[in-house]
């Protein structure tokens, strides 16, 4: 412990089920924070895919294998995104499945010097509940969890939360009601999820609002532009801005010891 909090807060965007809107939320959150004048970095941990870069209209020709091998510095992999947002893109890279843990450790090590350069480091995590996924979510300063109405999207979010709560723990938790019809449906979904969580888990979720089903999101993905820039007043953009407001308002705090950063300790332990 070095006794002082670093500047950057590391925020993991997670969901129990794929396709719920995690990457679009992470990208639009990063852009909204950057538009508000914050130094923000988006890290795509979905190795093997490069959704964040694709969503932001960036051609990512980077070599994650080089990072794992120690031949490519992280600075060479940090790309300029819209509105001043920086991006560490995901794959594709052939060797990734084999060296995923090594890559995570290298990434964490090379990101530590960045901890005082950014206000917010947004991490787009991977679908699933492998030990590395749990570690990369659990060692963040806070988690934004997307919960959906469908039983799979609801129960997988709960299952992920249970693994986190009984494993590395969660510093702070924000819930987004994803792909709901309207605000009322979102609030009802949060109530249902929060009361289940409160019964069985030591977590205190904050509600970050609804992301309604909104065709503007698909249109913005097709245009490879952030929804918040292309359609700033659409219902989804209002939802993205509300999540960004909670982040800018200090919902998540940098871990006070300053030593816990993107699963670094966890991967020291593994390695
Ligand atoms: N609020 C929304 N309303 C309508 N469609 C949406 C919304 N959010 C996301 N989508 C659509 O769902 C698709 C998947 O979203 P996204 O890539 O963000 O999901 P994901 O959870 O990251 O999925 P994956 O499991 O593939 O990583 C988007 O391309 C978009 O077309
Ligand atoms: Mg994704």
Q: What is the pLDDT of residues 208-219, one digit of tens each?
A: 999 999 999 999
Q: State the burial class of residue 109 (Cβ atoms within 10 Å of its Cβ: 0-12, 13-18, 19+).
A: middle
What pLDDT does 261 receive?
56
Cβ of 98: how many Cβ atoms within 10 Å? Answer: 11
CATH number of 11-270: 3.40.50.300
Q: What is the mean pLDDT of residues 36-48?
A: 89
Let me know: does 137 contact 143? Beta carbons within 8 Å.
Answer: yes
- Give the integer Cα–Cα distance in Å for 222 and 242: 23
Closest-lying ligand 1 atom to the alpha carbon of residue 46: 27
Distance from the alpha carbon of residue 19 to the mean position of ligand 1, in angstroms: 5
CA of 55, nearest ligand number: 1
Q: How many CB atoms lie within 10 A of CB 144?
A: 29
Give the start-to-end residue ranges of the domains of the chain: 11-270
Instruction: Give the pLDDT score at 263.
Output: 46
pLDDT in tens, 218-259: 999 999 999 999 999 999 999 999 999 999 999 998 876 555
Q: What is the mean pLDDT of the chain?
A: 87
Least confident of 60-64, 121-125, 240-244: 60-64
**Taking 50 as the threshold, does the pLDDT of residue 198 lie above it?**
yes
Say if CB 52 and CB 42 are below 8 A apart: yes
CA of 252 to the centre of ligand 2 (A): 22
pLDDT of residue 264: 46
CA angle (82, 55, 261) in 5-degree steps: 75
CA of 61 to the centre of ligand 2 (A): 19
């Amino acid at each position: 412990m070095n006794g002082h909090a670093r500047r950057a807060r590391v925020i993991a965007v997670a969901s129990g089920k794929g396709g719920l809107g995690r990457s679009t939320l992470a990208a639009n959150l990063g852009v909204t924070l950057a538009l508000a004048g914050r130094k923000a970095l988006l890290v795509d941990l979905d190795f093997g895919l490069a959704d964040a870069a694709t969503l932001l209209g960036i051609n990512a020709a980077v070599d994650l294998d080089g990072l794992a091998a120690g031949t490519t510095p992280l600075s060479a992999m940090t790309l300029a995104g819209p509105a001043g947002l920086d991006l560490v893109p995901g794959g594709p890279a052939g060797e990734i499945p084999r060296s995923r843990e090594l890559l995570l450790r290298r990434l964490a090590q090379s990101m530590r010097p960045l901890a005082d350069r950014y206000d917010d480091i947004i991490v787009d995590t991977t679908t699933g509940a492998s030990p590395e996924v749990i570690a990369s979510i659990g060692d963040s300063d806070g988690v934004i969890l997307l919960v959906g109405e469908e039983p799979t999207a609801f129960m997988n979010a709960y299952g992920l939360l249970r693994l986190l709560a009984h494993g590395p723990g969660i510093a702070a938790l924000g819930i987004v009601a994803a792909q709901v019809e309207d605000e009322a449906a979102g609030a009802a979904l949060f109530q249902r999820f929060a009361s289940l969580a409160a019964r069985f888990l030591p977590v205190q979720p904050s509600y970050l609002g609804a992301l309604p089903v909104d065709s503007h999101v698909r249109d913005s993905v097709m245009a490879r532009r952030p929804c918040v820039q292309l359609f700033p007043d659409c219902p989804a953009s209002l939802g993205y801005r509300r999540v960004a407001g909670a982040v800018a308002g200090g919902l998540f705090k940098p871990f006070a010891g300053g030593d816990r950063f993107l699963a670094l300790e966890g991967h020291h332990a593994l390695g």
